[in-house]
Amino acid sequence: MTDTVKGAAPAGEPILQVRNLVKHFPLTRGIVFQKQVGAVKAVDGISFDLHRGETLGIVGESGCGKSTVAKLLMNLERATSGEVFYKGEDITRLSGRALKAVRRNIQMVFQDPYTSLNPRMTVGDIIGEPFDIHPEVAPKGDRRKRVQELLDVVGLNPEYVNRYPHQFSGGQRQRIGIARGLALNPEIIICDEPVSALDVSVQAQVVNLMEKLQDEFGLSYIFIAHDLSIVRHISDRVGVMYLGRMAEIGTDAEIYEHPTHPYTQALLSAVPVPDPQAREQRAAGADSGAAAGRGRIILSGDVPSPADPPSGCRFRTRCWKAQDRCAQEQPLLAVPEVFRGSGTPAEHESACHFAEERATAEAA
Amino acid sequence: MTATDTMAGAPAPATATAPLLEVRDLHVEFHTRDGVARAVNGVNYSVNAGETLAVLGESGSGKSVTAQAIMGILDMPPGRIPQGEILFQGQDMLKMSAEARRKIRGRKIAMIFQDALSSLNPVLSVGYQLGEMFRVHQGLSRKAAKARSIELMDRVRIPGARARVNDYPHQFSGGMRQRIMIAMALALEPDLIIADEPTTALDVTVQAQVMDLLAELQRESTMGLILITHDLGVVADVADKIAVMYAGRIVENAPVHEIYRQPAHPYTKGLLQSIPRVDRKGQELYAIKGLPPNLLHVPAGCAFNPRCPMAQDVCRTDVPPLHTVGAGRGSACHFWKETLGD
Ligand SMILES: Nc1ncnc2c1ncn2[C@@H]1O[C@H](COP(=O)(O)OP(=O)(O)OP(=O)(O)O)[C@@H](O)[C@H]1O
Ligand SMILES: Nc1ncnc2c1ncn2[C@@H]1O[C@H](COP(=O)(O)OP(=O)(O)OP(=O)(O)O)[C@@H](O)[C@H]1O
Ligand code: SF4
Ligand code: SF4
Ligand SMILES: [Mg+2]
Ligand SMILES: [Mg+2]
């Protein structure tokens, strides 16, 4: 398979190295004398690398900590502990001028094209705003021209500089957000659900644009989304998060075709496939329950609260394979012993004591 | 438009008992400050007992407004229904008295909304809100109503229903609240349920739980289901037939298998092509060009013509009627044959 080969050789050296990143939001009680009564463990020990020129997709269900990871990488939230190395330097400890210099190279595109743009600013001011903070990138006299170039790059008419956000459609607003993200010639763009709010017919336009810009400018992307098929399309590698931790990470083919973590397997099986024939195939394998070779895995129960996560493996309250060991011992994100050195696509990092492959419907 | 064209989407004569619900040539317009927005422009669709009809289309295409017209919960004004019929078990609901319609609502036709948190009353317990259905509509006692509520919560798999019946909406997760909404819709055993994006706000694994539940409940009864969604995956998973909307019209309708195999309208075809496919990784995604139409300025002729790769002069002048494509299949495209062909 061609994409296995492509994924096996990461595009470049690591540009971002995330190590044991933790963010706990304190839960307080009392108004005058605030007392900490606990913490929301939004991100609880996450490690991964981002390589130059690659796209790392991050998937996982609502509240698992994806946006918090994005904000930590942007230094919009202070990490409780852990490190983020950008070109070898830990940026979680930076402040002042050093932080400002790093920020120029890591930009973000937000989910909601309707609320992330200031309605009272013209498009020209919105895209040019980063220049106020980093005037060295575009001297005053050059700004208008630079903004118009950026509009052109993202496929918007450069004559629109004086329009306001409400005069644009959702897809156009997302292009404005991307133009703004590109303004300072960053190396990394973190995209938090960049197409989720868009109509299906418009999503493809924005995804194509992002891929084109990546080729043109050699950008590295972290692409957060809950649409698994779009993540697969755009990503070289994919990380699956559950309740503040990384459950599994690997190339797109490893994760989508050879997942070894039960949560990834359940997640993939739950995605409705736009093909009525898959429904019959699935029905054939479904009723024999979660342990069936294929068919849909319907998880029971809800995601536990991140303020009071289960001991050991975070997924154990919904996992059909859970044993005593899962409650006692936290499974680490590593290549499971059974697959180590096997040279198969199952040889990738998975945080499960009992990692194993499950025949997928595709394989059948 | 000729009579046969209008009927193209109706069930084939072989299954010819009267449909449970039939919408005929429905028009809805909104009078706004900026002009008249024609949100629904001659919609035709039908659903039989025991059948699931999926209504698909992008944001603003009129899916919810059509559903609101069926339920009789449109804001009027600014809304207006200048034309059309909504036949429920053979009777035109638009001609009924307000009283007669109220009797149908909840009892015979129930609706599940997208946003469960805002459709449940935050200051009343879930059990009270479920029980109210039985007290008001069936005159049950408080105690009997509570017992029925617990039964219903069990039926939609709320764990520990007996213990949780007095909890408030915010104490439940999103998926559980959506199941409570389903319980409420099921309470009076309606003949038809309209579910407006019932899982859009939910996570995939929870969405699978909820869709699975709906399908199972439907299997146990002869209930008809209208499922409004823009997720092509959900449609393929549960629907018997599909109606695709664009700019307030049905542009294509068909049994679910046929539409995926061979779409007869360029818009449907474009949507299906823009789904990322594993074997096309690394290539550009197919993208429908341009933007969804502004309802205040719907293009003349076929509303899809500025975005359509097959558009000809006739498309810019003549509104395409819903042509019969096959048994129970219709396409509102002048060039449906060519679309099917390639
Ligand atoms: N400022 C904050 N204070 C307290 N808790 C927070 C804060 N920000 C996020 N959280 C909590 O941290 C957890 C992770 O939130 P986060 O927004 O990162 O999730 P997410 O994966 O992005 O979810 P979604 O898919 O819904 O966007 C959630 O339980 C959230 O409620
Ligand atoms: N009360 C109202 N007043 C004015 N316009 C309205 C009103 N309700 C709906 N509309 C308009 O009617 C059109 C159709 O809306 P509708 O809610 O049916 O779309 P939809 O297909 O359900 O979209 P979505 O997928 O976003 O839910 C929209 O342009 C909307 O702005
Ligand atoms: S470690 Fe145990 S509970 Fe966790 S995913 Fe693996 S089998 Fe399931
Ligand atoms: S009628 Fe013309 S513009 Fe409309 S969908 Fe058919 S070919 Fe395209
Ligand atoms: Mg988020
Ligand atoms: Mg709607």
- Domains in chain B (CATH in brackets) are 19-341 (3.40.50.300)
Structure-block tokens of residue A275? 């093909």
What's the pTM value of the predicted model, to 2 decimals?
A: 0.85
pLDDT tens for residues B168-178? 888 887 778 88
pLDDT digits over B118-164, tens only? Answer: 778 889 999 999 998 889 888 889 999 999 999 888 888 787 788 88
Among the partner residues A169, A271, A275, nearest to B291 by beta-carbon distance: A169
Closest-CA residue of B relative to A230 is B276
Closest atom, ligand 4, to C-alpha of B303 = 4
Question: Are A122 and A208 found together in one domain?
Answer: yes
Report pLDDT for A38.
83
Give how many domains chain A has, as a whole number. Answer: 2
Ligand 1 nearest atom to the CA of residue A244, by list position: 14
Q: Look over chain B and give the mean of its residue pLDDT values, rounded to a whole number.
A: 86
CA–centroid distance, A353 to ligand 2, in Å, is 50
B44 to each of A12, B37, B138, B226, how far by Cα in Å? 56, 19, 34, 13
| Any domain includes A219 | yes
Same domain, A283 and A156: no
SS3 A37: strand
DSSP assignment letter at B252: E
Using the 3D structure, point to which of A242, A275, A292 is the last residue of a domain: A242
Q: Whole domain around residue A284: which residue ranges?
A: 260-350
Mean pLDDT for chain A overall: 85
CA distance B47 to chain A (A): 19
Domain limit, last residue, from A175, A207, A242: A242
ipTM summary value: 0.78
Residue A8 belongs to some domain of the structure: no
Phi, psi of A78 (to 5 degrees): -85, 130
A328 pLDDT above the threshold of 60: yes
Residues in Cβ contact with B240 at an 8 Å cutoff, skipping those fewer than 6 apart: B51, B52, B53, B255, B256
Q: Closest-CA residue in chain B for A198?
A: B59
Distance between CA B196 and CA B201 in Å, rounded? Answer: 11
Same structural domain, A206 and A89: yes
What part of B 99-158 touches A (C-beta under 8 Å)? none
**Confidence band (pLDDT; 50, 70, 90) for A4?**
very low
Residue B117: per-residue pLDDT: 65
Helix (H, G, I), strand (E, B) or coil at B118: helix
**What is the pLDDT averaged over residues A139-152?**
85
**In chain A, helix, strand, coil percent, each to 5?**
35, 20, 45
Residue A306 three-state SS: coil
Structure tokens at A61: 């269900």
Per-residue pLDDT reduced to its tens digit, A174-187: 888 888 888 888 99
CB B304 within 8 A of CB B61: no
* Boundary of a domain, candidates A242, A273, A307: A242
**Residue A3 pLDDT level (bands cut at 50, 70, 90):** very low
Measured CA to CA, the distance from residue B197 to residue B227 in angstroms comes to 7
Q: Which residue of A has its CA nearest to B274?
A: A204
* 3-class secondary structure, B217: helix
**In this predicted model, what pLDDT tens digit does every residue of A38-87 receive, in sequence order?**
888 999 999 999 999 999 999 998 889 999 999 999 888 999 999 999 98
Q: Cα torsion at A214, A217, A222, A225 (round to 10°)?
A: -40
A11 CB-side CA count, 13 A: 18
Say if residue A266 is in the same domain as residue A228: no
**Is residue A185 located within the same domain as residue A329?**
no
The answer to whether the CB atoms of B286 and A169 lie below 8 A apart is: no
Rounded-to-integer distance, Cα A114 and Cα A76, Å: 21
Domain shared by A65 and A131, yes or no? yes
Residue A2 maps to a domain = no
What pLDDT does residue B161 have?
83
Subunit contact A273:B274, Cβ cutoff 8 A: no
What number is the average pLDDT over the span B205-226? 83
Residues A238 and A268 in one domain: no
